[in-house]
Structures are given as C-alpha cells and as structure tokens.
Amino acid sequence: MKNSQFKEKYGPYALVAGGSDGLGFAFAEAAAQRGLNLVLIARQAERLHAAAERLKAAYHVDVIAIAADMADFEQVKERISALSVSIGLLIYNAAYAPIGRFENTSEERLSLAVDVNVKAPLLLTKLLTEPMIAQKRGGIVLMSSLAGGQGSPNIATYAATKSFNAILAEGLWKELKPHGVDVVACCAGAILTPGYQKAEKIKPAPGTLEASEVAEQALNALGKGPIVIPGIVNKIGRFVLTRIMSRKAAIEIMSKNTGGLS
C-alpha cells in the first residue's frame, strides 16, 4: 500500500501506546514514515517527550505526547477523549510481564498485568473503534506474542494475556471488516529492543528480529488477515508448536526457553 493510501485509510493520527522506546518507538517511526501524525502514550514523561521531539524533527509530523500509565485506564480515557484530533490507527504495544514462578508472584503484579495487557487494550479498542466505524475506515494493531500460543512457564500470566489479545483481534477482524476497520494481532518472537538486549546475557534466540522489522511487517499486514507472525523462523516455530506438536510437548519446548527466567 502506498503511503498516501495508508494515510487516507488509517490517518490522520496514529495512537501508539507504549511509544517512547523499543518496539513502540519503531511503530511510531513506521507510522510517521507513512505520513501519519502521532499520539504517543507512555509512563516516563522525560523519555516520552524526548521521543516526541526526535520524531517531529525527523519526519515533520505533529506529535502529541501524553504521559500516562496504561494501568489507569480512566486517566488514559479522559486524556484521549479531550483530544481534538481524529485517530485512525491504534497500535497497542504497552505491556507488563511479571516474570518468575506463579506461586511467588504477588496479587498486585498479577492485577497489573491484567490492567495493562488485557483491560487497557480491550477498552481502548472499544473507545477508538466507535468513531472509526462511523467514518468507515481505520485500523487496530494489538501486540501478541509467540509465548501466547501455549502455556509458557515462568511467564504464565503474561503469555495468557497475550493469548487474549490474539483471540480478540481474530474476532474483531471479522466483526469490524464490514465497517472498513482492519484489525491484526502481531504475534512476535524475540525482538532486539534495549530491554531485551539488557536482559539477555547470551546470544539472541533464533528468529530474533530488529524492532523496525516487526513494526514494518505488522503495519504491512493490516487488511490482509487477523494474525501476522514476523520472520520466517517464527512462522515455522509457531506452526510446529501449535499445529504439529501436542500441547504437552509444546509447553515442554517453551519451558526450555522461559523456565530459567526470573
């Protein structure tokens, strides 16, 4: 799709939740490269405003920065509702991942994962699709994960929330298509973000991609189907884990990758 067509279909503004760095910033760049103005939401105000200035200077688009915690949806809703711009694309990249054994994870951290990974994308999608439906155009990108294809020990709650986003996107893809609104879930594997590089002490996992590659493939998938899996290695891996292996075997494989996380 040409940039002019993309802007007409999904513009004039893209809202990127978790857009101050890493994959979220890559999504913001990819949208700006297509001519869309931006609304960025993230918790850390200093980092957020620095990202906004970089994007304005590089792509000459309008960038609205909203410092807010996606765990507080009422605050997020109030600030978005106060905007006087038309949002034609939602990219929900914000996430919280409680890592470690479930028995050692507090109720507070479990609740936070649900608020950020489930409640916020669900209600934000509801909020923004209403005007999209009225205008007969728009798009939704929900970040999922290969970890959500089966149980993933030591990140069990995170994986479950990512499964929710994939299933939600699949249902909404069918429901909203007649209204001209495209929905896709991006089921990504490991991504070379600053956080990943800091956490990993060993070489990147097979299929690890640059954040810019994931963002490009996700945006290019809008209108083509309900799920996109960036990278050929990840596509093969998901097929094997979900279509060939038994659930028990798939969980055992995931455990070898996630069981040592703490």
Structure tokens at 177: 């298509």
- Please choose, from the candidates 247, 214, 244, the residue with its C-alpha nearest in 3D space to the C-alpha of residue 231: 214
Classify 188 as helix, strand or coil.
strand
Classify 178 as helix, strand or coil.
helix
Phi/psi at 38 (nearest 5 deg)?
-130, 145
Going by pLDDT thresholds of 50, 70 and 90, the confidence category of residue 201 is very low
- 178 preceded by cis ω (within 30°)? no
pLDDT tens, residue by residue, 174-198: 999 999 999 999 999 889 765 544 5
Residue type, 88: G
Going by pLDDT thresholds of 50, 70 and 90, the confidence category of residue 205 is confident
What class has domain 3-258? alpha beta
Neighbour tally for 60: CB within 10 Å: 9
The percentage of residues in the chain with a pLDDT greater than 90, rounded to a whole number, is 86
Structure tokens at 78: 């109030």
CB 52 within 8 A of CB 40: yes
- Please choose, from the candidates 142, 185, 137, the residue with its C-alpha nearest in 3D space to the C-alpha of residue 1: 137
pLDDT of residue 257: 80
Any residues with CB less than 8 A from the CB of 100 and at least 6 apart, and which? 154, 261, 262
Classify 259 as helix, strand or coil.
coil
Domain boundaries along the sequence of the chain: 3-258
Structure tokens at 247: 């659930």
**pTM recorded for the entire structure:** 0.93
pLDDT of residue 195: 55
pLDDT tens, residue by residue, 113-148: 999 999 999 999 999 999 999 999 999 999 999 999
CB 228 within 8 A of CB 187: yes
Work out the average pLDDT over 23-35.
97
